[in-house]
């Protein structure tokens, strides 16, 4: 009986030892898989970041956009020099003179704005705000070559602007559903000739434009605290100014929504649009170093809504109304003093 008890104890020890060896084997296999995974991930990240170093890149002319992924601009035509916007001379008589020998692909274009239920864009009186000691308004309309050197940053509404403006030289960093709290984290922006997977912050740093037009807000209308929205916007402005100190920054008002859209939603309502725009205006006044551009004035009706004919979903403008916005930019351009 004593011999039998000894055998059982030895057998238990052998089983425990076998289990330990099995666990060590499993841990070893998991460790190998973890190492392989980290190596593969490192290779992917490294390849994605290739080309980010090397200084600023200037994109002046965009060609046929076509059916590209959201957030991508296909720059098929490039020019090597910046095209300067025609500005009034110092006498203020309205005559313009170009100091650049480069010809923009848009210089010889005529820009037609279709008739809508709204009046002419040039008759619009927007509620712009800017510090007159720092900026001066340019007599419009500016030449279409102006858009060679400006960049539009925003969400799906900016996407529509780039795709349906009818201009071959418009530039933009945008992504459907993009919000201001994701500008430094979401790698959804593509920079042609440089690479994909950039944040808005990185895209600004990697390129060089004379002016930046910011349009955000529609995806943030459901936010409870509007101060979070303006703080994120102000942080982005601070960054742009730190890397592009000479650039003019336009903070655009949130475009209106239609009456029908406003009535069927608790979030996408014109009342909330107005509230957020008021906060944007206050932010611009407090900063004093940016321009509040009331772009919504170009597409808003007498009742304060986006006309029903202007959109199929009550939020995103059709091509005809996008052309009104572009024309509005031409009549509401500013330069630093």
pLDDT digits (tens, 9 = 90+) for 95-142: 444 344 457 777 778 899 999 999 999 999 999 999 999 999 999 999
Strands 189-191 and 195-198: antiparallel
Q: Answer whether residue 228 is part of any domain.
A: yes
Q: Which domain holds residue 100?
A: 87-336
Residue 84 has pLDDT above 60, yes or no: no
Q: Is 50 helix (H, G, I), strand (E, B) or coil?
A: coil
Contact predicate 332/292, CB 8 Å:
no
64 pLDDT band (50/70/90 cuts)?
very low
Residue 207 has pLDDT above 50, yes or no: yes
Give the residue-averaged pLDDT of 271-292: 98
What does the pLDDT read at residue 271? 97
Q: Answer whether residue 51 is part of any domain.
A: no
What does the pLDDT read at residue 152? 98
Q: Answer whether residue 14 is part of any domain.
A: no
Give the number of other CB atoms < 10 A from CB of residue 204. 25
Q: What is the pLDDT of residues 161-184, one digit of tens each?
A: 999 999 999 999 999 999 999 999
d(CA 291, CA 167): 24
- Best mean pLDDT range from 45-54, 72-81, 108-117, 210-219: 210-219
Where helices occur in the chain by DSSP H, the ranges are 2-48, 156-164, 200-206, 226-243, 259-263, 270-287, 319-331
Output the average pLDDT for the chain. Answer: 83
d(CA 172, CA 71): 8
Q: Answer whether residue 39 is part of any domain.
A: no
Q: What is the pLDDT of residues 9-59, one digit of tens each?
A: 776 777 788 888 888 888 888 888 888 887 767 666 554 444 433 333 333
Rg (CA), the chain: 28
Contact predicate 292/130, CB 8 Å:
yes
Selection from 43, 45, 77 nearest residue 59 by Cα: 77
CATH number of residue 292's parent domain: 3.40.50.1110
What does the pLDDT read at residue 102? 59
d(CA 190, CA 176): 13
Beta bridge mates, 88: 96
Contacts of 29 (CB under 8 A, 6+ apart): none
d(CA 268, CA 157): 14
d(CA 247, CA 224): 32
Q: Answer whether residue 223 is part of any domain.
A: yes
Phi and psi angles of residue 171, each rounded to the nearest 5 degrees, phi first: -120, 145
Q: Answer whether residue 140 is part of any domain.
A: yes
Residue 79 has pLDDT above 80, yes or no: no
What does the pLDDT read at residue 108? 73
Q: Answer whether residue 45 is part of any domain.
A: no
Q: How many domains, in total, are found in the chain? A: 1
Beta bridge mates, 292: 129, 251
Q: What is the pLDDT of residues 181-199, one digit of tens each?
A: 999 999 999 887 788 899 9
Q: Answer whether residue 151 is part of any domain.
A: yes
């Amino acid at each position: 009986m004593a011999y039998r008890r000894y055998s059982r104890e030895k057998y238990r020890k052998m089983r425990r030892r076998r289990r330990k060896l099995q666990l060590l084997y499993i841990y070893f296999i998991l460790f190998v898989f973890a190492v392989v995974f980290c190596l593969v991930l490192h290779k992917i990240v490294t390849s994605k970041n290739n080309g980010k170093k090397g200084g600023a890149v200037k994109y002046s002319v965009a060609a046929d956009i076509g059916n590209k992924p959201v957030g991508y601009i296909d720059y098929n035509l490039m020019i090597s020099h910046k095209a300067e916007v025609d500005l009034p001379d110092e006498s203020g008589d309205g005559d313009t003179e170009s100091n650049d020998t480069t010809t923009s692909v848009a210089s010889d274009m005529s820009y037609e704005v279709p008739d809508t239920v709204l009046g002419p864009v040039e008759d619009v009186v927007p509620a712009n705000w800017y510090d007159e000691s720092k900026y001066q308004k340019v007599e419009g309309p500016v030449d279409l070559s102006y858009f060679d050197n400006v960049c539009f940053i925003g969400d799906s509404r900016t996407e529509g602007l780039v795709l349906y403006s009818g201009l071959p030289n418009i530039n933009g960093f945008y992504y459907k559903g993009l919000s201001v709290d994701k500008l430094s984290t979401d790698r959804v922006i593509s920079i042609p000739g440089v690479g994909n997977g950039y944040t808005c912050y990185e895209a600004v740093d990697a390129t060089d434009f004379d002016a930046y037009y910011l349009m955000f807000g529609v995806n943030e209308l459901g936010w409870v605290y509007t101060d979070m929205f303006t703080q994120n916007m102000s942080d982005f402005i601070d960054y742009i100014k730190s890397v592009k100190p000479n650039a003019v920054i336009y903070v655009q008002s949130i475009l209106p929504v239609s009456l029908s859209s406003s009535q069927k939603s608790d979030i996408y309502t014109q009342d909330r649009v107005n509230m957020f725009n008021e906060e944007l205006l206050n932010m611009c006044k407090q900063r004093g170093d940016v321009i509040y551009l009331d772009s919504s004035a170009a597409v808003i009706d007498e009742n304060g809504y986006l006309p029903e004919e202007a959109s199929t979903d009550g939020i995103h403008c059709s091509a005809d109304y996008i052309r009104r916005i572009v024309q509005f930019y031409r009549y509401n351009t500013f330069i630093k003093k």
